[in-house]
Structure 1
Amino acid sequence: MFLNTIQASEGSRKKSKRVGRGIGCTLGKTCGRGHKGQKARSGGFHKVGFEGGQMPLQRRLPKIGFTSRVNKFSAEVRLSELNALNADTVDLKVLIEENIVPAFTKKAKIIKSGEVNKAVTVKGLKVTGGAKESIEAAGGKVEV
Structure 2
Amino acid sequence: MYLDSLKPAEGAVKTRKRIGRGTGSGRGGTSTRGHKGAKSRSGYSQKSGFEGGQMPLQRRVPKFGFKNINRVEYKAINLDVLQSLAESTNETVLNFDFFKAHGLVQKNDKVKILGRGELNKSVEVHAHAFSSTATSSIEKAGGKAVAL
**Smaller-chain TM-score bracket:** 0.5 to 0.7
1:45-60 pair list within 5 angstroms? 45-54=45-54
1:1-144 pair list within 5 angstroms? 27-28=28-29, 33-41=33-41, 45-54=45-54, 75-84=75-84, 85=86, 86-97=90-101, 99=102, 101-102=104-105, 104=107, 106-144=109-147
| C-alpha contact 1:90 1:121 (8 A) present in aligned 2 | yes
Measure, in 1, the Cα distance between the counterparts of 2:43 and 2:109.
54
Residue 100 of structure 1 and its aligned partner are, at CA, apart by: 5.6
More helix, by proportion: 2
Residue 131 of structure 1 and its aligned partner are, at CA, apart by: 0.4
TM-score normalised per structure 2: 0.55
Amino acid at match of 2:137: S
What are the ranges of 5 or more consecutive residues in structure 2 without an aligned counterpart? Answer: 1-17, 62-71
Residue 50 of structure 1 and its aligned partner are, at CA, apart by: 3.0
Q: 1:48 to 1:137 in 2, by over 3 A?
A: same
What's the Cα RMSD here?
3.7
Q: 1:38 to 1:137 in 2, by over 3 A?
A: same
Measure, in 2, the Cα distance between the counterparts of 1:60 and 1:46.
19
**Share of identical aligned residues, percent?**
40
Measure, in 2, the Cα distance between the counterparts of 1:40 and 1:95.
62
| C-alpha contact 2:124 2:146 (8 A) present in aligned 1 | yes
| C-alpha contact 1:112 1:131 (8 A) present in aligned 2 | yes
SS at match of 1:83: helix
Q: 1:92 to 1:38 in 2, by over 3 A?
A: same
TM-score normalised per structure 1: 0.56
